[in-house]
């Protein structure tokens, strides 16, 4: 018998938006494998919001900052959304962004070793430990990116979603560009994508998405009896 807990069912519901019994049955069919259960729900057309399936199972915020020609975006995790709304936590994230822009570290480990651009004389690691003690929850810097040049940014709500879109343009000072760039950032936040265009999608990812779409159509009584080659042509038009 597959081994999974009520907590697993709850987390699958949170990440896919599916009903409790659907999630329970998917975990059972997947022998407790969480990612396989997500795939099963997608194939059945139940996981309507695919972006939820890739959401990080942690609270926290995403924030962005631009200084001069440099823009940084960072994700800092906390244990609860209550802390994510804390003014001390939010100010700490701003100081982390200042540190990123000032030092342009290669990765999170390098960032943790940088001198913190906020209060105190220590490193980012020291500040992280201090804020963890002050706030009373484990905090962690999960990831960040630094971008140079023309960008458009967007932060949704209090930091649930953050977007930085980089543009190769010589009209960055034009009002028309600013409006267009803003709309691209909003669209990216609303419908997040992993790749810039179809040519950038790895063959194995494309094949898996085709299989999922075909499996979804086979669940539809109106489509189930159509030949495989017909389904494949329909899928080609959707991708």
49, pLDDT greater than 60: no
55, pLDDT greater than 80: no
State how far the Cα of 167 lies from the Cα of 184, in Å rounded to an integer.
Answer: 10
163, pLDDT greater than 90: yes
Sign of CA dihedral 220, 12, 156, 173: negative
How confident is the model at residue 184, as a pLDDT? 93
224, pLDDT greater than 70: yes
Query: pLDDT for 145-156, tens place per residue?
Result: 999 999 999 999
Every domain of the chain and the residues it spans: 1-55, 59-190, 194-239
Q: DSSP secondary structure string, 103-146?
A: H--SSHHHHHTSBPSSSSSSBHHHHHHHHHHHHTS--EEEEEEE
CATH entry 3.65.10.10 includes domain 1-55: no
How confident is the model at residue 58, as a pLDDT? 60
Residue scoring higher pLDDT (30 or 197)? 30
50, pLDDT greater than 60: no
How confident is the model at residue 153, as a pLDDT? 95
Same fold, 1-55 and 59-190: no
Say whether pTM exceeds 0.85.
Answer: no
CATH architecture of 59-190: 2-Layer Sandwich (3.30)
The dihedral region occupied by 223, where left means phi > 0, alpha psi between -120 and 50, and beta the remainder, is alpha
Mean pLDDT of the chain: 86
Residue scoring higher pLDDT (232 or 167)? 167
How confident is the model at residue 51, as a pLDDT? 42
Q: Which range among 7-16, 46-55, 65-74, 114-123 shows the weakest confidence by mean pLDDT?
A: 46-55
């Amino acid at each position: 018998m597959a081994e999974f807990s009520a907590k697993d069912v709850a987390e699958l519901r949170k990440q896919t938006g599916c009903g409790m019994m659907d999630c329970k049955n998917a975990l059972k069919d997947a022998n407790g494998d969480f990612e396989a259960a997500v795939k099963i729900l997608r194939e059945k057309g139940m996981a309507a919001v695919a972006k939820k399936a890739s959401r990080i199972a942690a609270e926290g915020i995403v924030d962005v900052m631009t200084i001069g020609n440099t823009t940084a975006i960072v994700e800092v995790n906390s244990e609860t959304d209550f802390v994510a709304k804390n003014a001390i936590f939010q100010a700490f994230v701003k100081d982390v962004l200042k540190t990123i822009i000032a030092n342009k570290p290669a990765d999170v480990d390098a960032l943790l070793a940088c001198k913190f651009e906020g209060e105190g004389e220590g490193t980012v690691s020291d500040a992280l430990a201090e804020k963890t003690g002050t706030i009373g929850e484990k905090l962690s810097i999960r990831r960040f990116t630094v971008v140079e040049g023309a960008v458009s940014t967007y932060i949704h709500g209090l930091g649930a979603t953050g977007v930085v879109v980089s543009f190769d343009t010589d009209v960055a000072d034009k009002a028309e560009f600013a409006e267009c760039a803003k709309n691209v950032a909003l669209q990216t936040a609303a419908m997040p994508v992993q790749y810039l265009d179809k040519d950038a999608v790895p063959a194995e990812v494309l094949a898996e998405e085709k299989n999922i779409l075909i499996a979804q159509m086979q669940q539809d009584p109106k489509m189930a009896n159509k030949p495989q080659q017909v389904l494949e042509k329909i899928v080609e038009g959707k991708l």
